[in-house]
Structures are given as structure tokens and as C-alpha cells.
Amino acid sequence: MKVISKEEEAAHYGVVLRGGLVGGSAGLALGLGGVMLASRRYPAFRSLTLPFRTFLVTSTATFGAIVNAERRSTAFQRANDPGHGYQDEAQRAARLARENDPAYRRLARWGRDNRYGIVFASWLASMAVALAVVGRAPISTAQKLVQARVYAQGLTLAVLVASAAFEASDANRGSGRWETVMVLDPSDPEHKHLIEKRVHKEQYEGQDLWRDMVEAEERRLAAKKQPGIAPTRSTVRRRRRRRRQQQQQQQQQ
């Protein structure tokens, strides 16, 4: 558990408060401008009640405040976290594999990782398109909303089916927890041969740090047991330092 001081807590509160004010102000301006523009342009929107239009404005402001405050809070925590930016062996291998992937694979991975955001955005976009299509029909506002919702639900259902297919594929392959990547063969002295390696996909930063520490300790113990293996540079430096200390002690005596 990380214990923070009163100064850090006050600084974090100030950053979050300023982020919420900025995001809320931007959301309020955006929501108010959108409601005013829609009221001037669309007769169906003008028929909405004043409390409902007020709700649209306030909800946009609230959404902007929450999102920006959360972003500022995350940025503050990362800036004050000394372990931020650390990449363990699994992360480095996965990053190298992603950099070598073609564009269509990167696009497919982006869609798979952001599937739920795409579903929500597609619902909003389909509602807007459906309202624009049925907006000129000679029917009442309630009927227009019903038709627009039906169209939006149809498109959203198709996107949900696609996201469910991605989810089932990930579950069958286990890619939600593990990834198979191509890494350099450690036994190859020229570092040209690639081999497949199954690495754990971290759910949060530094999750596999203990794995790297255990593997490094196991390699160190194995190197001690096997004779004839050249020592590392750090080992050589430690041995030289010890010899110098012993020589200095002998000279003092």
C-alpha cells in the first residue's frame, strides 16, 4: 500500500478540482451550444420540454467534468510514480511484436481493444443518422423517436454480435490473458533468429515484475552452479572492488 503525504493529497485534490472545472466548463459550453443550434434548426427538437433540454446541457457538463478530472488524476499519479514507464520482459516482447505487425492487424487489434467504446459510439451515431433520416417524415415527434431508436438498435445489435465474436475468439485462443509473440532467440549469438514465446498480458502496469525478479534470480543461481560460464561485468566489478578493499586493509595493517 502506498502512503501519501498531506502535501501530495492536497496537490492531487487541486489537480482533480482544476481538471473538473475545465472539463465541466467545456462540456457546458458544448452542450449549451448544441442545444441552441438544434433548437434553431430542428422543429422536433424545439418541441422538447425545457427540463429535458436542461438535462441535456447539464449531463454534458457533468460528463466533461468527470472525464477530464479522471484524466488529470491519472496523469498526476503517473507523474509521481517512479515505476511508471517501466517495461518488463513480456511488455518489451509484446511491444516489439506490435511494431512489426502490418497495418490491418494493428487496426483489428485497436477494434478488439476498444470494442465497447465502438458499440457506444455506433449507437450514438446511428441515433443521430436515424433522427436525420426520419426528421422530415410527416409524423409526430414520438413516432420519429421510436423509429430512430429501432434503426439504432438494429445497427447496435450488429456491432454487439461482432464484438461477441471477438470475445469468443479471444476466449478460445486465450489472448485475453496470454499472447504469442516473436522474440529474439537468447541462445543465438548473432541475435538474428526469432522464436515464438508465450507471454502474459498484464492487466495493470508492473503486474509481472515479480516474475522477472524470480527469473533473474533463477538464472543467477543456475550460472553459479554451472562451471566454465564467463561472469558478468557487474560480477567482475564486484570482485575487483573486493580485491582493492582487501589490499587497502592489508596496507593499513
Contacting residues for 20 by C-beta, under 8 A, at least 6 apart: 65, 66, 68, 69, 72
Query: Which of the four pLDDT bands, split at 50, 70 and 90, describes residue 21?
Result: very high
Q: What is the DSSP letter of 226?
A: S
Q: Which residue has the higher pLDDT, 6 or 29?
A: 29
Mean pLDDT across the stretch 168-182? 59
Does residue 183 register a pLDDT over 50?
Answer: yes
DSSP 208: T
Cβ atoms of 173 and 55 within 8 Å: the answer is no
Q: How confident is the model at residue 217 (pLDDT cuts 50, 70, 90)?
A: confident
C-alpha cell at 188: 543465438
Please state the rounded mean pLDDT for residues 210-225: 72
Measured distance CA(14)–CA(113) in Å, rounded: 32
Nearest-10 Cα torsion for 215, 216, 222, 227 = 150
φ and ψ of 50, to 5 deg: -65, -40
* pLDDT confidence of residue 1: 41
Say yes or no to pLDDT of 19 above 70.
yes
CB-neighbour burial class of residue 20 (10 A; exposed 0-12, middle 13-18, buried 19+): buried
Of 217 and 233, the structure prediction assigns the larger pLDDT to 217
Which among 92, 60, 131 has a CA at the least distance from the CA of 209?
92
DSSP structural state of residue 139: S
User: What are the CA-CA distances from residue 212 to residues 12, 87, 204, 208, 217 (Å)?
Assistant: 32, 11, 15, 7, 9
Task: Look at residue 232 and tell me whether its pLDDT is greater than 70.
Answer: no
pLDDT digits (tens, 9 = 90+) for 93-115: 666 666 776 777 777 777 767 76
Q: What is the amino acid identity at position 27?
A: G
Rounded Cα distance, 197 and 181, in Å: 5
pLDDT tens readout for residues 31-87: 999 889 888 888 877 888 888 889 889 988 998 899 899 888 888 887 776 655 555
